[in-house]
Amino acid sequence: MKSLARLAVALGAAATFLLPAAPATAAAPATAAASATAVEHRPVCSVVWFDLGNTLVNTTVPGQMTYMPGALHHLRLLRALGVPIGLITNVPPEWGATDAERAAATKAYVDKAWAEPEPFAWELFGDRILTPRSTAEAKPAPALFERGRDAAAPCRSFYEGETPTEITAADNAGLTGYLTGQPGRPAYLPVWRLFLP
């Protein structure tokens, strides 16, 4: 029951973040008690990693990429809760000599085919975009999951993707996997799981 109460407070805070702010004159002054309450109801230290194609980005129509249903809302909710997010995605290793170069090539590739009115929200991920340095590192090999786990330490890592073999590989590497887009269950990881120890 205590966990549900914490989740309700956190979701309320997230909803406030996602809605336009009230004018400054209407805002209540911040207090030490309010700050302590906000800290108490934060998720357990976690990083949520995502696959890109057909997990966040619909690639089923050639040359016309869009968000998967609910993807942008889920990403914004996680960031509103203060949860860092990242990408663990397979791209050709020859797209660059470093993760940063391969990430830039990935962004250019997606942006070229992007069909939504607003650009893809790359800024939500910061520099947390992991890509294979060789074909041997490509998922479902464990290397990228291990790099994600280590980059998130000492926080725990979650991985959301649409491919069962990748979820198994993530679990085996010490992440907590969540298979997205399954009938009869939430399309994405329920955020209450981030509050459980």
pLDDT in tens, 124-165: 999 999 999 999 999 999 999 999 999 999 999 999 999 999
Model confidence pLDDT, tens digit, residues 23-56: 333 333 333 443 334 445 678 999 999 999 999 9
Model confidence pLDDT, tens digit, residues 65-116: 999 999 999 999 999 999 999 999 999 999 999 999 999 999 999 999 999 9
In the structure encoding, which two tokens stand for residue 39, read together?
Answer: 């800290």
HSE-CB at 66 with a 13 A cutoff on CA atoms is 9
Architecture of the CATH domain 43-195: 3-Layer(aba) Sandwich (3.40)
| Residue 161: φ, ψ to 5° | -160, 170
CA dist., res. 50 & res. 124, Å (int): 12
pLDDT at res. 65: 98
The H-assigned helical ranges of 32-136 are: 32-40, 71-80, 99-113
> Is this prediction's pTM over 0.85?
no
pLDDT at res. 153: 97
The set of residues, in sequence order, having a beta carbon less than 8 Å from that of 79 and lying 6+ positions away, is: 85, 124
Give CA separation, 44 vs 100, 156, 186, in Å. Answer: 28, 8, 21
Residue with more model confidence, 7 or 108: 108
Do 78 and 71 form a contact (C-beta atoms < 8 A)? no
Model confidence pLDDT, tens digit, residues 9-26: 444 444 333 333 333 333
In the structure encoding, which two tokens stand for residue 122, read together?
Answer: 């790359």
Q: How far is CA 3 from the centre of its chain?
A: 22
Q: Which residues of the chain are in CATH 3.40.50.1000 domains?
A: 43-195
Q: Which residue has the tokens 């129509």?
A: 61
* Per-residue b or e along 6-31, where b marks 16 or more CB atoms closer than 10 Å to that residue's CB: bbeebbebbeeeeeeeeeeeeeeeee
Residue type, 80: A
Q: Using the predicted structure, report yes or no on whether residue 58 has a pLDDT greater than 50.
A: yes
pLDDT at res. 40: 53
pLDDT at res. 60: 96
Residue with more model confidence, 22 or 187: 187
